């Protein structure tokens, strides 16, 4: 067998000219724009006719390729140049969203046009969402009336689920925020959204895409406070929104606080320092002692790797809680805080199956350490316990409760 490399065969012969239809079609939206503008001019203000025209044109025109052009025309009358001005290479149509009447009824009719179009041509869904994001970035290039119409339409589309609340991220654009454009647009958008849906539905949509924690970004950094947000939106009659954001902020604060306490524990910071820090945070963030004892209990129980064996975990828990009982004691100065702690312990032991048999031993330890007192324990036993694992925990506590009652009567 020869070691010489075999020569590769070469193709020879006549070279054919590429057929016209095989060449990639050049991107040229002007012809597409002409067809859409002409159709809209013929349909006029009759939005039902517009809907029928758009439905039929999808079979003849390349909506997939020219989606952005299509939506630009429906909203602004023609193709938009960067910044939001109309491109000058063609006469725009007067029959578009920006030239329509500025009222909710007209905007609802336009929302229907978009809904039907996207339901008919599903592939336009993403392109439409991208279009709305782009339009929001162009707000400074639009007139006040155009912004109002866009805000109303966007609110209705959010309510219908045609677009997701992730489009709001465009409003966090630094230039829009700095000039107050974002916040003022948000007022009109939320009013429109809430005229179609209740606040729970709005909050659910915001949570779904992680926008519930970002609304403060509608304001510049130096104005991102609950007070400023509340005043701004309360003055506009959107009390539910400002209440929601205030609540989200406090949830965020509590999560950060719990993590910080856990970090301090894992670093082995002295308990007196952890107590001093926690007291400072209570004052600073106006947190109740009941809320704080729940956070501290969660931090204490999260700061350790628990044994998977039921017979060993009780011993481990008692040792761990003995170490941190001064921290728990510092934030159970009220009977209600003690009861809150008892309910947290019950919930924890029920949710973590290895702790089911440890409940009574934990309560007795905390009683001896002066964290829990007779009255809250008896109240918990008699009426204030949770349904979770009730029969198991009440049975465990029976003897100790009898002893407490006798000790109380004897005292």
pLDDT tens for residues 132-145?
999 999 999 999 99
Closest C-alpha among 345, 370, 363, 366 to residue 401:
363
Q: Which two tokens stand for residue 3?
A: 């070691």
What's the rounded Cα separation, in Å, for the pair 258 and 275? Answer: 13
Q: Which two tokens stand for residue 150?
A: 């866009």
Q: Which two tokens stand for residue 157?
A: 């589309």
Do residues 120 and 55 touch, judged by C-beta distance below 8 A? yes
Closest C-alpha among 313, 329, 403 to residue 372:
329
Do residues 375 and 335 touch, judged by C-beta distance below 8 A? yes
**pLDDT score of 39 more than 60:** yes
Closest C-alpha among 43, 109, 110, 108 to residue 71:
110
pLDDT band of residue 173 (cuts 50, 70, 90) is: very high
Where would I find the beta strands (DSSP E) of 204-290? none
**pLDDT score of 384 more than 80:** yes
Output the CA–CA distances (angstroms, integers) from residue 48 to 111, 189, 358, in the order listed.
Answer: 12, 25, 69
Task: Find the mean pLDDT for residues 380-392.
Answer: 91
Q: Which long-range contacts (CB under 8 A, 24 or more apart) does 196-204 make?
A: 196/155, 196/156, 196/159, 196/160, 197/159, 199/240, 199/241, 199/244, 201/159, 202/158, 203/244
What confidence score (pLDDT) does residue 23 get? 45
Nearby residues of 16 by Cβ (< 8 Å), 6 or more positions away: none
Reduced 3-state DSSP string for 371-386: CCCHHHHHHHHHHHCC
Q: Report angle CA 76, 77, 80 to the nearest 5 degrees.
A: 60
Closest C-alpha among 377, 398, 389 to residue 332:
377
What confidence score (pLDDT) does residue 408 get? 67
In percent, the amount of the chain with pLDDT more than 70 equals 92
Task: Give one word for 370, left, alpha or beta, with left for phi > 0 and alpha for psi -120 to 50.
Answer: left
Q: Which two tokens stand for residue 139?
A: 């707000």
pLDDT band of residue 13 (cuts 50, 70, 90) is: low
Mean of all residue pLDDT scores within the chain: 89
Of 142 and 26, more confident: 142
pLDDT band of residue 18 (cuts 50, 70, 90) is: very low
What confidence score (pLDDT) does residue 2 get? 47
86: DSSP letter? B
What confidence score (pLDDT) does residue 16 get? 47
Phi, psi dihedral angles at 84 (to 5 degrees): 105, 5
Do residues 93 and 37 touch, judged by C-beta distance below 8 A? yes
What confidence score (pLDDT) does residue 307 get? 85
Q: Report angle CA 23, 28, 30 to the nearest 5 degrees.
A: 150
Per-residue pLDDT tens for 97-108? 999 999 999 999
**pLDDT score of 9 more than 70:** no
**pLDDT score of 128 more than 90:** yes
What confidence score (pLDDT) does residue 10 get? 56
| Domains of the chain in sequence order | 305-409 (1.25.40.180)
Q: Which two tokens stand for residue 65?
A: 């390729």
* pTM score: 0.66
Per-residue pLDDT tens for 54-84? 999 988 889 999 999 999 999 999 999 988 8
**pLDDT score of 411 more than 80:** no
What confidence score (pLDDT) does residue 164 get? 94
């Amino acid at each position: 067998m020869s070691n010489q490399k075999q020569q590769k065969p070469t193709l020879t012969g006549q070279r054919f000219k590429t057929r016209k239809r095989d060449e990639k079609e050049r991107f040229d939206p002007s012809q597409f724009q002409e067809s859409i503008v002409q159709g809209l001019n013929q349909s006029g203000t009759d939005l039902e006719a517009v809907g029928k025209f758009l439905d039929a044109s999808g079979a003849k025109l390349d909506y997939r390729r020219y989606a952005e052009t299509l939506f630009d025309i429906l909203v602004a009358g023609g193709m938009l140049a960067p910044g939001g001005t109309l491109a000058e290479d063609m006469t725009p149509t007067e029959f578009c969203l920006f030239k329509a009447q500025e009222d909710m009824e007209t905007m609802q009719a336009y929302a229907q046009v978009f809904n039907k179009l996207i339901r008919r041509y599903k592939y336009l869904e993403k392109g439409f969402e991208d279009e709305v994001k782009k339009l929001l970035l162009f707000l400074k290039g639009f007139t006040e009336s155009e912004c109002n119409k866009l805000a109303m339409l966007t609110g209705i589309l959010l309510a219908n689920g045609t677009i997701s609340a992730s489009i709001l991220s465009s409003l966090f654009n630094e230039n829009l925020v700095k000039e107050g454009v974002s916040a003022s647009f948000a007022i009109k958008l939320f009013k429109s959204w809430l005229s179609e849906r209740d606040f729970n539905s709005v909050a659910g949509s915001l949570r779904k895409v992680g926008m519930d924690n970002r609304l403060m970004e509608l304001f510049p950094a130096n104005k991102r406070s609950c007070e400023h947000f509340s005043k701004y939106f309360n003055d506009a009659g959107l009390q539910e929104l400002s209440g929601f954001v205030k609540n989200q902020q406090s949830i965020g604060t509590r999560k950060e606080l719990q993590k910080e306490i856990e970090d301090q524990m894992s670093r082995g910071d002295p308990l007196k320092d952890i107590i001093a820090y926690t007291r400072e945070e209570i004052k600073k963030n106006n947190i109740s002692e009941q809320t704080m004892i729940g956070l501290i209990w969660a931090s204490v129980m999260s700061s350790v790797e628990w044994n998977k064996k039921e017979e060993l975990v009780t011993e481990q828990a008692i040792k761990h809680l003995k170490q941190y009982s001064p921290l728990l004691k510092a934030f159970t100065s009220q009977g209600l805080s003690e009861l809150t702690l008892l309910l947290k312990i019950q919930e924890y032991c029920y949710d973590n199956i290895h702790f089911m048999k440890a409940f009574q031993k934990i309560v007795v330890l905390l009683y001896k350490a002066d964290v829990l007192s007779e009255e809250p324990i008896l109240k918990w036993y008699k009426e204030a316990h949770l349904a979770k694992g009730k029969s198991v925990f009440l049975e465990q506590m029976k003897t100790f409760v009898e002893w407490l009652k006798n000790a109380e009567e004897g005292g």
